[in-house]
Chains A and B, each alone.
Chain A
Amino acid sequence: MLHGPNPYRRMLMPDAVAEVEFHRPLAAGEVTSWRSLAAHRLLGTFYEADTVLLPEQGLADLRADFDLFYSEELRRLREASISDLERFAYSFLATEVDITGAWTIDALDAYFQHAATVSEQGESAALTAIAQARRPEVAADTYLVQLALDGLTEASAMSKNLGGAYGPEQSALFKIFIDEFGYGVYESKHTTIFAKMLRSRAMATHVHAYWNFYLAGPLATNNYYYYLSRDHAKFFRYAGAVTYAERVFAPGFVKMIKTYQAVFGDDIDLHYCAEHAHIDEHHGRITREQVLLALAERHGASVVPELIRGIAEAELFGRWFEDDTAAQIRWSDAIDRYRERGAAALSGGGEPRRVELTPVSPFGTRSHDGAMILVLTEGEADLVTSATGEPDRLGRGDAVLVPAGRTYGVRAISPRCGYDLHPTTAE
């Protein structure tokens, strides 16, 4: 179910990607949809092909995959399609967020402080879901998986904004970057201490081991920072977004430590969380004073709406990250109930779609834009809804309700296995 230590190959579920109409851009309400998950898997891979990924064990047998991943052929394909894919994934932001009025630097700061306070005082939907879960360990792992998306390649998007010449603000951003990279000491690098946390949970630590379990909301959030960083016309939006993120990380990690200590006691290495709870106090101050407000002072009123837009959009994506993760945790944690609801709602469903698998079929996960009832019609299979929880065994005739946007995979147990997907209005 996990991806091996090969960062160049990722399961995209090509048959399911073919369902997506890419000519119709995503709407704000579709961030957690299958359309979104499919697009953001592609987009994230495109972005990461512009970073250096080398497997910890060395290239050895992966040299051919390395050559293909960074090949001119795929580079040209990326370059030809990435702008259209970004338009598909993010064009809704232009109408979802509006910045109007006569902004001043004081107003910018007042808005920023308000947004940060709301986040600090609000609850984390995902941490609440963990605390309320019947299997809190599995729920907590699901959240770690979403953090691993960025945690194992941390600050890669930020690195895109370090080049050029833009004065003291560049140096301020670089200070944060140095912290992320442990001052050149590999053992202190944030990715290294994130891996320590995963290891303490007996989880895999290679990049994108949990590719199949990344959710659309977290992927869209992670890609958003690449989206802003790839195109320097969006630099001021990036500055607003990164300032918001750095400010809310510290209180966010304080809450996470509390929740994870309640779940695992001392059986987890929370050094990564403690490091962020501490250093992001400084990063929050540095980005506000030396990046956000300094850029506004230096470049004047015309950049303020873009700084504000970055703050507002980062706040939105932060919420989608949390809500999507919380929804997955709740569904996976209560799968018995969704089995009952699937069986109860089966009659009167729409025309089913048939899927057949064997035990050697490649494992992949997907979601659906609308709710589905999955009915096993042949053989025996495991329904996989989390990276570390026990899969749910389905026998012939078993049904489960898959709400819109919930990510799952099916693994054949018997030599032949088939299931039907019935569209349903039962959520």
Chain B
Amino acid sequence: MDRVVTMDLRQHNTVLVGHDRFFVFRADNQLQLVRDSCPHRGGPLSLARLTPDGRRLSCPWHGTRVGVAALRRTAVPMVRSGDQATVVLSAVAADAPVSVIRRRILANLPPERQCDTTA
């Protein structure tokens, strides 16, 4: 079933749904709610840094590059109205606990400046 969650973006940037975690990712001056899990082995993308070209996130676990465009395409449906965000989570069990919290999001820092040697 669909679950609708609201959060004040001045206070919260992360949604916890059962064992899943989503974070508010800023891309091209738009906020997206994306899954905090690298498609490779589930590393925390919220702790990833943008590559120098700003187009990919470099997962902190194995350095897997995850395209920002791909993340946007799979982002959770979200409406931001001022500082208020309304999120629609699909296929969530009715009894799954849902909460919103604030965490440090390294993925929203400016791109890393060091030389890119693995691309």
Contact = CB atoms under 8 A, between A and B. Distances in A.
Contact of B81 (A97, A100, A103): A97
B81 A102 contact: no
A16 interface: no
A99 B30 CA distance: 9
B3 to A, nearest CB: 8
Interface in B1-20: 2-4
B86 A111 contact: yes
Contact of B2 (A101, A110, A308): A110
B75 A97 contact: no
Interface in A185-212: none
Interface string A298-321: 000000000010001001100000
Interface in B52-108: 72-82, 86, 88, 90
Interface residues of B, number: 21
Given A100-B31, A100-B33, A104-B90, A111 B81 contact: no
Contacts of A316: 81-82
Nearest to B29: A95
Nearest to B25: A100
Contacts of B77: 100-104, 107, 111
Contacts of B31: 98, 100
B46 interface: no
Contacts of A110: 2-4, 88
B31 to A, nearest CB: 6
B81 A101 contact: no
B32 interface: yes
A308 B79 contact: yes
Contacts of B86: 111, 114-115, 312
A97 B90 CA distance: 22
Contacts of B80: 97-98, 100
Contacts of A59: none
A410 to B, nearest CB: 35
Contacts of B72: 100
A13 B88 CA distance: 46
Interface string A99-141: 1111110110011001100000000000000000000000000
Q: Which interface class (under 10, 10 to 19, 20 to 34, 35 or more) fits A?
A: 20 to 34
A160 to B, nearest CB: 25
A106 B4 CA distance: 12
Residue among A106, A110, A316 facing the most chain B CB atoms (10 A cut-off): A110
A100 B32 contact: yes
Contact of A100 (B4, B78, B82): B78
A114 B73 contact: no
Nearest to B2: A110
A102 B73 contact: yes
A300 to B, nearest CB: 15
A98 B87 CA distance: 12
A308 B73 CA distance: 17
A28 interface: yes
Nearest to A110: B2
A101 B32 contact: yes
Most buried by B among A28, A100, A103, A114: A100
B78 to A, nearest CB: 5
Contact of A107 (B2, B74, B82): B2
B79 A28 contact: no
Interface string B20-44: 0000000000111100000000000
A101 B78 contact: yes
Contact of A96 (B73, B74, B75, B81): B81
A94 to B, nearest CB: 11
Contacts of B90: 104, 106-107
B88 A98 contact: no
Contact of B75 (A101, A114, A115, A312): A101
Minimum-distance CB pairs A-B, first 6: A110-B2, A101-B77, A101-B75, A114-B4, A98-B80, A107-B88
24 contacts: A97-B81, A98-B30, A98-B31, A98-B78, A98-B80, A100-B32, A100-B33, A100-B75, A101-B32, A101-B77, A101-B78, A101-B88, A102-B75, A102-B77, A103-B77, A103-B88, A106-B2, A110-B4, A114-B86, A114-B88, A115-B86, A312-B79, A315-B81, A316-B82
Given A103-B77, A111-B88, 13 more contacts: A97-B80, A97-B81, A98-B30, A100-B77, A101-B33, A102-B74, A102-B75, A107-B88, A110-B4, A111-B4, A111-B77, A114-B86, A312-B79
